[in-house]
Amino acid sequence: MAQDDLQLMRDLVDNQPDGFALPRHFYTSQDVYEHDIKAYWNHSWIWVGHVSQIPNPGDYFLFDYAKESIIVVRDREGEVRAHMNVCRHRGSRVCTEKQGNARVFSCPYHAWTFDLSGKLRGGRAMGPDFDPSKYGLFPAQIRIFEGLIFVCASEDAPPIDAGLSELQTHAAPFDFANVKVAHEASYPVPANWKLALENYMECYHCAPSHKEYSRSHSLKDPAEMEGLLEPLQERSCAIGLKTEEVNQTGTDSAGPAADVYWRRYPLFEGYQTGSKDGQPLAPLLGTLTGFDGGATDMQIGPLNNFLIYADHVVGYRFVPTSLQETDIQIVWYVRGDAEEGIDYNKDDLTWLWHVTSLDDERIIRHNQEGVNSHRFEPGPLSDMEWGILTFYHSYLAMI
């Protein structure tokens, strides 16, 4: 890792003009990328899954990003825990299956064995002075918000708890704790993770790039949306939802990367949910009593974004795999007791965000191609791109 590259990065951070995109260096330097992972991702809350994926003691799954791997497991006492998937002996992955049920985690190299809480059980041939209590798996932090599992690889995680409490009253009627995974999909894009995230943070591109989304979602046109807000709020109240916005992002957040955001916005007339024909896709979530024709943008930390309809939830994350490779990972959740083929059709459910993600892959890819040019100069952001600035707020503070 060259100090030159990091020094250049720091100079650019100091001189970043407000209201402009970031310079090329942030998207093209291997050193900046590795620093991103160490300084930003390892210190951020990352949404990794849902409690319904690990109902029983010993159930686990792995979540990987960059070169990191985290084991998320339900322990003997029923508590969900997260461990860094790195043996404390010589560093092998201790768990190599993506998901399963384990009694213990026994390293496949030299059989150092850890219990579900991460404690090392002795150490073969390690001599009399060896103290196993010093060599448990490194823990990752855990937060569970309405069944959604978040982890942070470091000890100083962003102060998200107050924000989560704020969101909780809004989220309660949807009862996320009792949803289930209907589908998961991954859209790899040859671009830096920040370009993928920035794409999600603004709807300035929706009108030109997403014709299916723009047909039904008013967010693409702030002026038009404005006129539809009041009628929506009446309908939302009627089905049991709170209508206030939560916007603790950027400078208004409790700390860098502790952003929380909640806003319900109108679909166009004739659309009850994010479906092709406007008709419902799945049973109503939680305690909702009907469709209000709205959709909620929920953000928990800059890295975790959710779109909440009355009958399903779509979660997004933008997982870096290398400097210019990012996995756009999407999970569709429906009511926990909904049955595929009876209560919902998977192709219909996933149609909108599948076609939209294919568009996004294309435009993010072309964005990276242009940013790679030596002649790229960051331009001014539009009024509709304020979300990018809230992301920069934490990014520039943490790196």
Find, among 294, 286, 260, 280, the residue nearest to 343 by Cα: 280
Among the candidate windows 55-63, 122-130, 142-150, 346-354, which touches its own copies by CB under 8 A?
A: 122-130
Task: Tell me: does residue 372 bind its own copies (CB under 8 A).
Answer: yes
Among 14, 55, 133, 374, binds its own copies (CB under 8 A): 374
SS (H, E, C) 8-50: HHHHHHHCCCCCECCCCHHHHCHHHHHHHHHHHHHHCCEEEEE
Nearer to its own copies, 39 or 177 (CB): 39
Among 226, 227, 380, 397, binds its own copies (CB under 8 A): 380
Among 90, 98, 103, 121, binds its own copies (CB under 8 A): 90
Task: Tell me: does residue 205 bind its own copies (CB under 8 A).
Answer: yes
Find, among 330, 305, 190, the residue nearest to 249 by Cα: 305
Residue 5-34 contact track with its own copies, rule CB under 8 A, x = bound: x--x------------x--x----x-----
Nearer to its own copies, 114 or 271 (CB): 114
CA separation, residue 102 to residues 54, 118, 153, 355 (Å): 11, 12, 22, 38
Q: Which of residues 55-84 bind its own copies (CB under 8 A)?
A: 67-69, 84
Task: Tell me: does residue 200 bind its own copies (CB under 8 A).
Answer: no
From the CB of 50, what's the least distance to its own copies, in Å? 24
Find, among 104, 71, 101, the residue nearest to 86 by Cα: 71
Among the candidate windows 88-96, 263-271, 273-281, 291-299, which touches its own copies by CB under 8 A?
A: 88-96
Q: Is 119 exposed, middle or buried (0-12, 13-18, 19+ CB in 10 A)?
A: middle
**Alpha carbon distance 324, 347 (integer Å):** 30
**Alpha carbon distance 85, 294 (integer Å):** 40
Q: CA geometry: angle at 203 spanning 365 and 344, to 5°?
A: 90
Whether the CB-CB separation of 37 and 66 falls below 8 Å is answered with yes
Binding site for its own copies (CB under 8 A): 1-5, 8, 21, 24, 29, 37-38, 42, 67-69, 84-94, 96, 106-111, 123-127, 130, 135, 138, 153, 198, 204-205, 207-209, 222, 362-363, 366-367, 369-384
